[in-house]
């Protein structure tokens, strides 16, 4: 029988490529991440990508990654790159960063 997975906090940076700026992607990401109980933020990058920095359980972040691949209706996501690292605990909620 498999051992239960400990719900330890992780951190991930997601870089979302495609038509993701000017289509409500940041508001979508903020809403979905908050609903999943994740902390961190989302911002547009100068190169046209959107960056999400999130902390929470690996399971919840994995679900967010799947959400990020879909995005809001007007978006067209072509790729999501993920960088994992240990959680820092510096976030208390999820915000849109400008």
Query: Region 50-75: what's the mean pLDDT?
Result: 97
Domain-embedded: residue 29:
yes
Parent domain of 68: 9-87
Catalytic (active-site) positions: 26, 44
pLDDT of 7 > 80? The answer is no
Domain-embedded: residue 97:
no
User: By the 8 A CB rule, do 36 and 63 touch?
Assistant: yes
User: By the 8 A CB rule, do 79 and 20 touch?
Assistant: no
pTM, two decimals, is 0.91
Question: How many whole angstroms from its chain centre is CA 71?
Answer: 11
The pLDDT value given to residue 3: 47
Query: Region 34-59: what's the mean pLDDT?
Result: 97
Instruction: Indicate which CATH number applies to the domain containing 57.
Output: 3.30.70.100
Domain-embedded: residue 92:
no
Map tokens 């990654």 to a residue: 65
pLDDT of 55 > 50? The answer is yes
Number of domains observed in the structure of the chain:
1
Q: Closest Cα to residue 33, out of 16, 53, 17?
A: 53
Domain-embedded: residue 61:
yes
Domain-embedded: residue 93:
no
């Amino acid at each position: 029988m498999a051992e239960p997975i400990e719900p330890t906090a992780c951190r991930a940076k997601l870089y979302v490529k495609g038509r993701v700026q000017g289509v409500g992607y940041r508001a979508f990401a903020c809403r979905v991440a908050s609903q999943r109980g994740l902390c961190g933020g989302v911002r547009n990058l100068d190169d046209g990508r959107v960056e999400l920095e999130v902390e929470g359980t690996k399971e919840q972040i994995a679900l967010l990654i799947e959400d990020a691949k879909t995005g809001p209706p007007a978006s067209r996501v072509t790729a999501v790159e993920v960088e994992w690292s240990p959680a820092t605990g510096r976030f208390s909620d999820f915000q849109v960063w400008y």
